[in-house]
Amino acid sequence: MGSSNNATTTKVITGDAGYVLEDVPHLTDYIHQLPTYPNQLQTNPAYSVVKQYFVNTDDSVAQKIVCHKSSPRGTHFRRAGPRQKVYFESDEVHACIVTCGGLCPGLNTVIREIVCGLSYMYDATRILGIDGGYRGFYSRNTIPLTPKVVNDIHKRGGTILGTSRGGHDTSKIVDSIQDRGINQVYIIGGDGTQKGASAIFEEIRRRGLKVAVAGIPKTIDNDIPVIDKSFGFDTAVEEAQRAINAAHVEAISIENGVGMVKLMGRYSGFIAMYATLASRDVDCCLIPESPFYLEGKGGLFEYIERCLKENGHMVIVIAEGAGQELLSQSLLAMGQDASGNKLLQDVGLWMSHRIRDHFARQKKIAINLKYIGQRLQICVCLFIFPFRFGLVTIDSKLS
């Protein structure tokens, strides 16, 4: 097998029959002859049963499950899970956990499981929480974390560590890690946060430090390839159905009622699609992965008219990233947030106005459109995820 590295953290290993492994960077890439130790799970009486289920170092997961007999083996990723050998002894571990970016259901549960896993499974005793996101590293705010401290936090919303956007100063962060003697860093956040985690690892590698950096993706959008599901996604889908149900009640209660719901997801339509499938009250689901058009035969306007003639009402769900190409360039120039994410225009509100204007011009059907869109500020917790809906009523009574 062959391997290659580029200037970033991408590591590619090739094998027979078109096998490609897009590997993750590792301590052994820059610290050679690093000593290993037996995994603590082998001697832990509560977990010793897992010794027969350790992940082999050569195990990988295929990017594409379906293939043909003549196809190359394709791209694979390193399989996660406990190994028989580890690179840190229990009394050597000094870990820290930081949460960054927006809130997401289950953040406190993830924090709790990291702390309890390190403590009960690997006998680690020194675990710190970094307060307030990346800024907390160099403002020296820390919270000592033990299983007792985190025992009930999964019942609370938000994150007990606090969070923030931006504030990423790689040099200051690594200085703090080095000064505190931290050797395991667990970073929970979205794509902007993980870019920061990659930069932190690169600086750690440049300094030759024995520090492991683990990025834990945080997104309710479920827009991460290969993994089954991202934490917070189920809660988002469950609560999205409440908005859909509200739109359905509005639509069926009035003649030619149209209920439109805009759901989160950025450039991914998983929340919208799964909520649609679970609800069974949705007539049309618009997602970024499936382009659509408004005018002409087979367009959205024609479909709305047909639904109203057949049923007298309809419900439309639109993901926030859907139809962005239909908006004018002037509307799309929204800039970025503090995490570097592109700000999206409110396609739901724009779409509701386009639907209203179309039927006003056609003068065929008098529609009553109710629009339910999520505001940017939402309340989140593990089991309760109430959207603060902004209800915009657009009544088009045409003669």
CB-based contact 56:2 (threshold 8 Å): no
Catalytic residue status for 221: yes
% of the chain with per-residue pLDDT over 70: 85
Measured CA angle at 106 (ends 274, 263), to 5 deg: 35
* Residue of 288 and 344 predicted with greater confidence: 288
* Residue of 391 and 54 predicted with greater confidence: 54
pLDDT tier for residue 150 given thresholds of 50, 70 and 90: very high
Q: What is the mean pLDDT of residues 340-346?
A: 68
φ and ψ at 177, to 5 degrees? -60, -45
Angstrom distance (rounded) from CA 380 to CA 236: 9
Angstrom distance (rounded) from CA 385 to CA 239: 6
pLDDT at 190: 87
Measured CA angle at 187 (ends 184, 191), to 5 deg: 145
pLDDT at 50: 60
Give the H/E segment covering residue 339: none
Angstrom distance (rounded) from CA 337 to CA 181: 33
- What residues contact 384, with CB distance under 8 A and at least 6 apart? 157
Angstrom distance (rounded) from CA 193 to CA 188: 8
Angstrom distance (rounded) from CA 73 to CA 89: 37
Amino acid, res. 315: V
Point out the catalytic residue in the list 23, 131, 221, 223.
221
Is a pLDDT exceeding 70 seen at residue 309?
Answer: yes
Is a pLDDT exceeding 90 seen at residue 205?
Answer: yes
Is a pLDDT exceeding 70 seen at residue 386?
Answer: no
Is a pLDDT exceeding 90 seen at residue 188?
Answer: yes
Give the tens place of pLDDT for each residue, 234-255.
Answer: 999 999 999 999 999 999 999 9
Is a pLDDT exceeding 70 seen at residue 301?
Answer: yes
Burial per residue of 43-58, b for 16 or more beta-carbon CB atoms within 10 angstroms, e otherwise: ebeebeeeeeebeeee
Angstrom distance (rounded) from CA 326 to CA 289: 14
- What residues contact 38, with CB distance under 8 A and at least 6 apart? 84, 85, 86
Judged by average pLDDT, the poorest of 49-58, 131-140, 161-170 is 49-58
pLDDT at 375: 44
Q: What is the mean pLDDT of residues 268-291?
A: 93
pLDDT at 99: 95
CB-based contact 197:187 (threshold 8 Å): yes
pLDDT at 364: 81
Question: Parallel, antiparallel, or unpaired for β 284-286 and 313-319?
Answer: parallel
Give the tens place of pLDDT for each residue, 120-132.
Answer: 999 999 999 999 9
pLDDT at 2: 58
Mean per-residue pLDDT over the chain, rounded? 85
> Alpha-carbon dihedral of residues 307, 312, 318, 324, nearest 10 degrees?
60
pLDDT at 45: 82
CB-based contact 233:215 (threshold 8 Å): no
Give the H/E segment covering residue 192: helix 191-207
Half-sphere exposure of 131 (CA within 13 A, CB side): 7
Q: Which DSSP letter does residue 78 get?
A: E
Is a pLDDT exceeding 60 seen at residue 7?
Answer: no
Encoding tokens for residue 16? 């027979």
Give the H/E segment covering residue 189: strand 184-189
Is a pLDDT exceeding 60 seen at residue 278?
Answer: yes
Reduced to 3 states (helix: H, G, I; strand: E, B; else coil), residue 60 is: strand
CB-based contact 239:385 (threshold 8 Å): yes
Q: What is the mean pLDDT of residues 198-210?
A: 95
pLDDT tier for residue 71 given thresholds of 50, 70 and 90: confident
- Please tell me the total number of residues recorded for the chain in this structure: 399
Is a pLDDT exceeding 50 seen at residue 277?
Answer: yes
% of the chain with per-residue pLDDT over 90: 54
- Pinpoint the alpha helices (H) of the chain: 107-116, 135-138, 170-180, 191-207, 233-252, 270-279, 300-311, 329-332, 347-362
Is a pLDDT exceeding 90 seen at residue 327?
Answer: no
